[in-house]
Amino acid sequence: MRRPILAANWKMHKTAAEALDFAYAFAPRVDGATHADVVVAPPFTALDRIGRVFAGHGIALAAQNVSPEAEGAFTGEVSARMLVDLGCRYAIVGHSERRTLFGETDALVARKAAALLAAGIRPIVCVGETLEQREAGRTFEVLSAQVEGSLAQVPRERAEDLVLAYEPVWAIGTGRTATPAIAQEAHAFLRTRLVARFAGSAERIRIQYGGSVKPENVYDLMAQADIDGALVGGASLDPVAFARIVRFEAEKGASR
Ligand code: PGA
């Protein structure tokens, strides 16, 4: 059994003070939720402040990015060691916004994932096809190449520390969620790629779905065999909505 992992990706939202308001509203709502790993990825600037609140509630802190470099003259960058120092247990790498808006390649994502693992942080590596690629029948080819390239530096013995996030680009921030069947098809395919890469450990790697996850659709997505969690953007900005997503079992029937 893979332990569910529900993660909030706030992107470039919330000041540290706003993040603290969220933390105080959210933490009590998920106290006692022992069925899943709960992760929040605020902007770098809020990590320290909300990490102190989350620490007492078993909520894991995540960064949204990291430098592939360990240290040095890299103005504006943040290293994995600095994230460890703030209590980060996870970091998102290879999000489609970073790939498309900031030119990140699979090779760079692979280096970032390696830097995180070396520092003891679990990478949440994002992959996903665009609408154009899906309509051209290239989804599996694109996912295959992203998995191979982005995970190139993950040693087999560290495979279980990895979280893979399937985020179809056409579903991100669009309100157009992949149906559970479409998502499961992609997740099952990704699992075959993980098996090819990591053999037996692949069964223990968690694959999150991301793209317009809401309280209303989370249960049906999580009911799929290879969907082990969710990476949530828009709906995670609201403490009530994200707490409902964390307690996805209670949302059974919400979409009907
Ligand atoms: P969304 O974003 O939930 O707002 O679609 C998901 C993501 O980009 O991680």
Query: Cβ < 6 Å from ligand 1: which residues?
Result: 9, 167, 172-173, 210-213, 231-235
Longest dimension (CA), the chain: 54
Query: What Cα–Cα distance (Å) separates residue 229 from each residue in 21, 48, 62?
Result: 25, 25, 15
Alpha-carbon distance of 135 to 159, in angstroms, equals 32
Cα of 216 vs centre of ligand 1, distance in Å, is 15
Pocket test for ligand 1, best of 212, 216, 242, 244 (most atoms within 8 A of CB): 212
Cα of 201 vs centre of ligand 1, distance in Å, is 27
Given its phi and psi angles, is residue 28 left (phi above 0), alpha (psi -120 to 50 degrees) or beta?
alpha
Residues 6+ apart with CB under 8 A from 80: 66, 67, 70, 91, 115, 116, 118, 119, 121
Nearest residue (CA) to ligand 1, atom 9 = 233
Alpha-carbon distance of 80 to 119, in angstroms, equals 6
pLDDT score recorded for residue 1:
81
Residue 135: CB atoms within 10 A of its CB come to 11
Catalytic (active-site) positions: 95, 167
Q: Output the pTM of the full model.
A: 0.97
Pocket test for ligand 1, best of 169, 231, 242 (most atoms within 8 A of CB): 231
Alpha-carbon distance of 18 to 94, in angstroms, equals 26
CA end-to-end span of the chain: 27
Nearest residue (CA) to ligand 1, atom 6 = 233
Retrieve residue 119's tokens. Answer: 């520092």
pLDDT along the chain (256 residues), means of 10: 96 98 97 92 98 94 98 98 98 97 98 98 98 96 98 95 97 89 97 96 96 96 97 98 96 75
Nearest residue (CA) to ligand 1, atom 7 = 233
Q: From the alpha carbon of 92, which atom of ligand 1 is closest?
A: 9
Cα of 114 vs centre of ligand 1, distance in Å, is 24
